[in-house]
């Protein structure tokens, strides 16, 4: 300000002197005053012009270069430029943080929807679009209750009690392919709400499987226990002849063996789920495995189909090539044995069970079991590897199955990187195959 005042006074003085010098002697006082007035007007005009330049500069979008370097207006322009730069830097930082925040919400495994005070959509991530079928361009600023037409959700929003979540069907829900969502609204800010959605289909299915598993285990164990309890009570209360006592004891032994098989299979599944994946250091000879499986199959067939009961089953075991299979020997034997024993159990007397090993050109190895049993309808095939799933429950119990064999096969196959293939024609038989990757098959 001092420099500004000095420049004004200096220009006034120069204007006065110039006015005195240019006028006659008798009019020098008036000339000096006129010169000072003209100098003042010139100073004001120049200052006003500089101010207009600064004002025009401020109206532009680009304030990177100041129009004036000196004087009061130069100082004003420089300070404005600094303030604008700081404001732009703060804005960029805010935008960056906002984008980082939105990117984090976009990467969230849960659906996120931001609603304004009127319930209109302000923003949502891709997962929410998948859950509710929303479109970013079409549904922006639309009322969510108009887009999500589930009655339970509409009642939840209308009630206004958001202390708990609700469960509702998601987009594409059907009986064959259920989709279940957990939805929770959280009020925040000035009447706004945050909606979080989570796909709980797998959790509900897992819970249903757990309930079914407990119910099936309880049922499978209760049946032989009831039989054992009845026989024990009979032996304790009734006088029996030696032949009757022997028959009852034999039936009790069968039920005890059935429970033992069930417990053994359950323990096997527990070990498969809790143990580390098998390595490739341990190897089993395929010809030796096939030989063991053949002995077990013939022994089981003799028990299920005694010579006096009808024609014997035809068990055909094709010669196995000289190769080794890498993996846990007990698991591999259990899986292959389950496939063979299932074929023997479900093939009627006089039918044929054929087993073999195929060596593929790409190095993979395939163990297969083909039978001439009753076969399986197509709608049952996808569920055969579920625990305790049986196409014919009465038939399974008659043959002594636990309902866990194919579940064990599936787990062993997954742990060894193998693929379980099931082909079946109702009334003509089935073919089960385990295809092992080339990394686990070694030709010797």
Q: Are residues 317 and 431 in the same domain?
A: yes
* CATH number for position 172: 3.30.450.20
**Burial (CB count within 10 angstroms: exposed 0-12, middle 13-18, buried 19+), residue 166:** middle
> Are the C-beta atoms of residues 364 and 357 closer than 8 Å to each other?
no
| pLDDT (0 to 100) of residue 388 | 77
| pLDDT (0 to 100) of residue 305 | 77
| pLDDT (0 to 100) of residue 41 | 73
* CATH number for position 330: 3.30.565.10
Instruction: Read off the tokens for 111.
Output: 């659906």
If one counts the domains in the chain, the total is 4
Q: Are residues 139 and 250 in the same domain?
A: no
Q: Are residues 123 and 162 in the same domain?
A: yes
**Torsion from C-alpha of 226, 231, 233, 236, nearest 10 degrees:** -160
Dihedral sign from CA coordinates of 285, 290, 291, 297: positive
Q: Are residues 415 and 269 in the same domain?
A: no
| pLDDT (0 to 100) of residue 441 | 92
Report which of 332, 327, 323, 324 is spatially closest to residue 279, judged by C-alpha positions. 327
| pLDDT (0 to 100) of residue 221 | 77
> Are the C-beta atoms of residues 249 and 241 closer than 8 Å to each other?
no
Rounded to whole angstroms, how far apart are CA atoms 44 and 370?
Answer: 108
Widest CA span in the chain: 165
Q: Tell me which of 144, 165, 199 is where a domain ends.
A: 199
Q: Are residues 270 and 283 in the same domain?
A: no
Query: DSSP code of 143?
Result: B
Reported pTM: 0.56
Which helix (DSSP H) or strand (DSSP E) does residue 65 occupy? none
Q: Are residues 384 and 434 in the same domain?
A: yes
Output the tens digit of pLDDT for each of the chain's 444 residues.
Answer: 556 666 656 666 676 666 666 666 666 666 667 666 776 777 677 666 777 776 766 677 666 666 666 666 666 767 777 887 788 788 888 888 888 888 888 888 899 999 999 999 999 999 999 899 898 888 888 999 888 888 999 999 988 889 899 999 888 787 777 889 999 999 998 889 999 999 998 888 878 777 877 777 777 777 778 878 887 887 888 787 888 888 878 888 878 877 887 787 778 877 777 778 887 788 999 999 999 999 999 988 888 877 655 677 899 999 999 999 999 998 999 999 999 999 998 898 889 999 999 999 999 999 999 999 899 888 888 888 887 777 765 544 455 566 788 988 999 999 999 999 999 998 889 999 999 999 999 988
Range list of β-strands (E), 171-260: 180-188, 192-199
Q: Are residues 410 and 308 in the same domain?
A: yes
Q: Quote the domain boundaries for residue 257.
A: 206-275
Q: Tell me which of 259, 275, 291 is where a domain ends.
A: 275
Range list of β-strands (E), 297-415: 314-317, 323-326, 352-359, 365-371
Q: Are residues 223 and 140 in the same domain?
A: no
Report which of 411, 406, 409, 370 is spatially closest to residue 391, judged by C-alpha positions. 406
Q: Tell me which of 163, 184, 199 is where a domain ends.
A: 199
Q: Are residues 378 and 357 in the same domain?
A: yes
Rounded to whole angstroms, how far apart are CA atoms 437 and 280?
Answer: 12
| pLDDT (0 to 100) of residue 68 | 64
Q: Are residues 155 and 297 in the same domain?
A: no
Q: Are residues 342 and 429 in the same domain?
A: yes
Q: Are residues 358 and 259 in the same domain?
A: no
**Burial (CB count within 10 angstroms: exposed 0-12, middle 13-18, buried 19+), residue 201:** middle
> Between the CA of residue 23 and those of 16, 157, 331, what are the distances in Å?
11, 91, 123
């Amino acid at each position: 300000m001092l420099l500004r005042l000095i420049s004004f006074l200096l220009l006034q003085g120069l204007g006065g002197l110039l006015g005195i010098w240019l006028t006659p002697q008798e009019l020098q006082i008036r000339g000096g005053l006129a010169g000072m007035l003209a100098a003042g007007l010139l100073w004001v005009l120049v200052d006003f012009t500089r101010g207009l330049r600064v004002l025009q500069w401020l109206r532009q979008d680009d304030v990177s270069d100041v129009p004036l370097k000196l004087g009061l207006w130069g100082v004003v322009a420089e300070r404005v430029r600094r303030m604008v730069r700081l404001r732009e830097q703060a804005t960029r930082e805010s935008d960056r943080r906002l984008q980082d925040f939105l990117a984090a919400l976009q990467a969230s495994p849960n659906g996120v929807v931001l609603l304004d005070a009127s319930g209109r959509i302000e923003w949502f991530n891709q997962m929410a679009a998948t859950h509710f079928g929303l479109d970013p361009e079409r549904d922006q600023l639309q009322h969510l209750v108009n887009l999500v037409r589930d009655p339970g959700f509409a009642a939840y929003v209308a009630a206004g009690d958001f202390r708990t979540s609700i469960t509702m069907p998601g987009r594409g829900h059907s009986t064959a392919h259920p989709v279940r969502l957990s939805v929770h609204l959280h009020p925040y800010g000035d009447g706004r709400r945050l909606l979080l959605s989570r796909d709980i289909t797998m959790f509900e299915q897992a819970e249903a499987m757990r309930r079914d598993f407990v119910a099936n285990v309880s049922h499978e164990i209760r049946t032989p226990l009831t039989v054992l309890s009845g026989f024990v009570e009979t032996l304790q209360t009734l006088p029996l002849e030696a032949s009757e006592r022997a028959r009852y004891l034999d039936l009790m032994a069968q039920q005890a063996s059935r429970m033992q098989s069930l417990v053994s299979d359950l323990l096997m599944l527990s070990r498969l789920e809790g143990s580390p994946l098998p390595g490739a250091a341990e190897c089993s000879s395929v010809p030796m495995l096939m030989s063991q499986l053949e002995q077990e199959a013939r022994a089981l067939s003799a028990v299920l189909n005694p010579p006096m009961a009808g024609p014997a089953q035809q068990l055909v075991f094709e010669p196995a090539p000289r190769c080794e299979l890498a993996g846990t020997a007990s698991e591999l034997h259990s899986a292959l044995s389950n496939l063979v024993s299932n074929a023997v159990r479900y093939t009627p007397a006089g039918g044929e069970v054929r087993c073999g090993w195929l060596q593929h050109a790409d190095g993979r190895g395939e163990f297969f079991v083909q039978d001439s049993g009753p076969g399986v309808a197509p709608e049952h095939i996808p569920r055969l590897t579920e625990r305790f799933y049986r196409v014919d429950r009465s038939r399974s119990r008659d043959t002594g199955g636990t309902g866990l064999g194919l579940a064990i096969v599936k787990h062993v196959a997954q742990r060894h990187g193998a693929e379980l293939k099931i082909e079946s024609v109702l009334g003509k038989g089935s073919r089960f195959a385990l295809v092992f990757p080339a990394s686990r098959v070694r030709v010797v």
